[in-house]
Every structure is written in structure tokens, then in C-alpha cells.
Amino acid sequence: MLRPRPRVPRPAGVLAVVTMCLVGAACSGDDDRSEETVPDDTTPVLVVDSEAVPPEAVEAPVGSVVVDDTGFVPGVLADDVVTAEELDEAYQRYLGCLADGGAGGRYAYDIDLQVGLTIDWQLAGDDGLGRASNTLDRGCSESYLGNIANRYFATVERPDDLQARQHDSIVACVEAIDPGVAREVPDDITTDTSVDGVYIDEVQVDLAFLGATPEDAAEISLCFTRVGVPWQDFGTPSPPTDTARPTT
């Protein structure tokens, strides 16, 4: 499951606790009974030595994770200012939360390059519908991402050389796959619709125009998705997929 978040992670010690709640059929300890069934001589009575029979092992559902409510997101947004350090911590906490839930894969972001988090991850043992993955992602995102990235990128200044640096990052990524396609990347490619140039999505949806082969198109597309930022691994290793989802 590849998930880039707007084109726009977990410091040591972040803990997610896997919990189970087992409910017995008879939980009352009240000895007052209005009716009581007393076995007669013909009723077989089963006597079980509880110490001799180990309890049946019960596994927690795939992706079940309880995130301590630390108030992290409200704390970051309380002063209406999100710093680069706070955004980095939010990303790391989110990635750590996914890893604690049993997920793993690869991610990319570069705050200095104004490239937000893109993740490509899987949750081993999830069903074919991805229900456990969605539940895990939602819990971790709400706890550690919230609106932090949107707030940061909406207020951070755009350096004059940013467009050129983003272009060079994309070209370097594509060049490692197909140098011929890299030479066709527009010089004025941009991730910002308010800036003059060729918007990155216009190029990404028609890679054949650049000469990309069907075999390389998926990985080249991911170069544009993450603006060329190199992948890094997290959590339990899993094979890469062909799509990516930016975070929010």
C-alpha cells in the first residue's frame, strides 16, 4: 500500500501498547442467586484443575494498537506556529506508530526541500480489504499528524531557489532509472500551482510523453510523487508496491 501524503515519523521511546479485552460469559462475583441448579446423582460433574490446564492463547487483531493520548497534535498547534522541528517529530511519531502496529515499508520526505511525507507500506496479516491497515493508519494519523503538515506548508516561506532545487532532485531520481527520460524533465517543473511553470502532476500523468517505458513508468512516477527524495526504510520490511499516497 503506497501512500504519498501532501507533496507535501518516531523518536526513541514512543510507545504504542497492544491491548486485548477478554469478557467472560459469567462475570458476576455475586453469591446471591435467586435460583440454583444442584446436580443430582445422575448429573455428570466435570472437575477441572485450573492450574493443570493452561489458558488458551488469544492473539491481538492485526494492526491493533492503542496510542497514548499525549495531546501531541493540539500541543503543536496551540501557538498557531508549526516549526520544521515539530513537523519532523510529527512524521517520526507517525511512522513509529505504524511500526508499533506491525507495519513496515519505506518513506520519503525533505522538509528543507518542502516535500511532505510519502509512504509505501504494508501490514502483514491484513485482510484483502485493508481494514486493519486503514484502522491503524487512521489512529496513528489522528494522534500524530492531524493538520500539522498543512499548517506548516501553508505558512512557510518559499525560497527563490526552491523550484530549481526540486527540479534537480527529481532529475537525479529519474536519471538513476532512465537517463533519457531525465533529460526530458521540464526545467520549470513546479510543485506549486501559484508559480509559473509546468505543474508536476501534468508531467506525472503522461510519462510516455517523456519517453518512459511501461516497465519503468511506476518507479519514475514515484520520483515525481516524492519530488526525488530518496526512500528510507521503517518498521518490519515489506516488498515495495507500485503506488504511493502522500500524507495529510
Q: Using one digit for the tens of pLDDT, what is the confidence trace for 142-194?
A: 999 999 999 999 999 999 999 999 999 999 999 999 999 999 999 999 999 98
The span from the CA of 228 to the CA of 115, in Å, is 9
pTM, 2 dp: 0.70
Position 33 confidence tier, pLDDT thresholds 50, 70, 90: very low
**What pLDDT, on the 0 to 100 scale, is given for residue 175?**
97
Choice between 5 and 86, residue whose per-residue pLDDT is larger? 86
Hey, what amino acid is at 24? G
The span from the CA of 70 to the CA of 68, in Å, is 6
pLDDT at 206 over 70: yes
Position 62 confidence tier, pLDDT thresholds 50, 70, 90: low
Hey, what amino acid is at 247? T
3-state secondary structure the chain: CEEECCCCCCCCCCCEECCCCCCCCCCCCCCCCCCCCCCCCCCCCCCCCCCCCCCCCCCCCCCCCEECCCCHHHHHHCCCCCCHHHHHHHHHHHHHHHHHCCEEEEEEEECCCCEEEEEEEEECCCCCCCHHHHHHHHHHHHHHCCCHHHHHHHHCCCCCCHHHHHHHHHHHHHHCCCHHHHCCCCCCEECCCCCCCEEHHHHHCCHHHHCCCHHHHHHHHHHHHCCCCCCEEEECCCCCCCCCEECC
Q: Who's near 140: CB < 8 A, 6+ residues apart?
A: 65, 67, 94, 97, 98, 101
